[in-house]
């Protein structure tokens, strides 16, 4: 069954930033929102992952990724050490987050496509977000997929970050030691105070780390309900 209220940033992941009432502070560039929102409403796109042109069950795939990864992410954030299956689940989650993030500012864009076969007459159709995400998985050869790089085998560590962390649709950051070099490190905020670092190409935490996350977000930035961290680097 189609999911009417699809979260572009996984609700279970955003819970780490919520208060006891289930509120987070959301900046939504498209709708010009800058206020606390409930987890139920944060980063929602109506029928975002429904596919009509393709037959792939994108909603089911994303639901499975989230169900496997969220427990592993929560364990990692609280000092646990995921096994190989947990690491693989987290890598799939990071790839999903990257996929969604690339289209966060294009949720209403529809692309015309001609559909036909040897046995049926052709017709024009429109690819909405779910179809575009599905097609991109196969045809966007330039997009980095972490599972293909086997980053689950890289060095993993979790560090505390003083001053707090924001998150958003661009929260997965990719680093190279030099321009044009292979990917050497991946970072992802697990909570407002815990940062996952995969790889060895990041010797220390960049002082403008939150600003780097914000610069990669196409539509949504999320902070604790008071919005205090984001305001330290210019969000009002």
Mean pLDDT for all residues in the chain: 90
Type and span of the H or E element at 167? strand 167-168
Type and span of the H or E element at 7? strand 5-7
Mean pLDDT of 187-193: 97
Mean pLDDT of 213-218: 96
Whole-number Å distance between alpha carbons of 48 and 8: 8
Question: What is the token pair recorded at 110?
Answer: 């529809």
Mean pLDDT of 110-122: 71
The share of the chain scoring above pLDDT 70, in percent, equals: 93
Mean pLDDT of 82-109: 96
Based on its alpha-carbon atoms, the radius of gyration of the chain, rounded to whole angstroms, reads 18
- The pLDDT assigned to 180 comes to 84
Q: Is the pLDDT of residue 235 over 90?
A: no
Domain spans of the chain, in order of start: 5-231
Q: Is 131 helix (H, G, I), strand (E, B) or coil?
A: helix
Mean pLDDT of 10-16: 98
Q: How crowded is residue 23: how many other Cβ atoms within 10 Å of its Cβ? A: 19
Whole-number Å distance between alpha carbons of 217 and 213: 7
- The pLDDT assigned to 68 comes to 98
Whole-number Å distance between alpha carbons of 115 and 124: 6
- The pLDDT assigned to 54 comes to 83
Instruction: Name the DSSP letter for residue 182.
Output: P
Q: Which residue has the higher pLDDT, 117 or 184?
A: 184
- The pLDDT assigned to 117 comes to 64
Q: Is the pLDDT of residue 190 over 80?
A: yes
Q: What is the pTM of this model?
A: 0.92
Mean pLDDT of 176-201: 92
Whole-number Å distance between alpha carbons of 15 and 35: 16
- The pLDDT assigned to 94 comes to 99
Measure CA 160 to chain center. 21
Please report where in the chains the tokens 């864009």 appear, as a residue: 109
Cα→Cα distances 114→37, 121, 124, Å: 40, 10, 5
- The pLDDT assigned to 80 comes to 94
DSSP lists the bridge partners of residue 71 as none
Q: Give tens-digit pLDDT for 85-96.
A: 999 999 999 999
Question: What is the token pair recorded at 203?
Answer: 């010797």
- The pLDDT assigned to 11 comes to 97
- The pLDDT assigned to 205 comes to 66
Burial class (CB in 10 A: 0-12, 13-18, 19+), 32: exposed
Q: Is the pLDDT of residue 1 over 70?
A: no
Using an 8 Å Cβ cutoff, are 128 and 52 in contact? yes
- The pLDDT assigned to 207 comes to 64
Mean pLDDT of 171-199: 93
Q: Give tens-digit pLDDT for 131-170.
A: 999 988 877 778 899 999 999 999 999 999 988 999 999 9
Whole-number Å distance between alpha carbons of 193 and 188: 11
């Amino acid at each position: 069954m189609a999911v009417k209220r699809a979260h572009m940033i996984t609700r279970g992941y955003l819970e780490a930033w919520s208060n006891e009432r289930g509120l987070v502070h959301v900046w939504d560039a498209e709708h010009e929102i800058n206020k606390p929102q409930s987890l139920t409403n944060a980063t929602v796109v109506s029928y975002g992952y429904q596919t009509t042109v393709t037959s792939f069950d994108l909603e089911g795939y994303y639901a499975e990724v989230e169900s496997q990864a969220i427990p592993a992410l929560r364990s990692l954030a609280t000092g646990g050490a995921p096994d190989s299956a947990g690491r693989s689940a987290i890598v799939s989650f990071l790839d999903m987050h990257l996929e969604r993030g690339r289209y966060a500012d294009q949720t209403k864009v529809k692309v015309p496509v001609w559909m036909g076969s040897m046995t049926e007459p052709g017709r024009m159709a429109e690819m909405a977000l779910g179809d575009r995400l599905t097609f991109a998985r196969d045809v966007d050869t330039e997009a980095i997929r972490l599972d293909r790089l086997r980053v689950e085998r890289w060095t993993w560590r979790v560090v505390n970050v003083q001053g707090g962390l924001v998150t958003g649709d661009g929260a997965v950051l990719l680093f190279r030691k030099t321009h044009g070099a292979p990917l050497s490190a991946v970072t992802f905020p697990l909570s407002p105070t815990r940062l996952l670092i995969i790889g060895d190409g990041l010797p220390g935490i960049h002082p403008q780390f939150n600003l780097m996350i914000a610069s990669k977000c196409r539509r949504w930035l999320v902070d604790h309900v008071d919005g205090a961290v984001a305001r330290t680097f210019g969000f009002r």
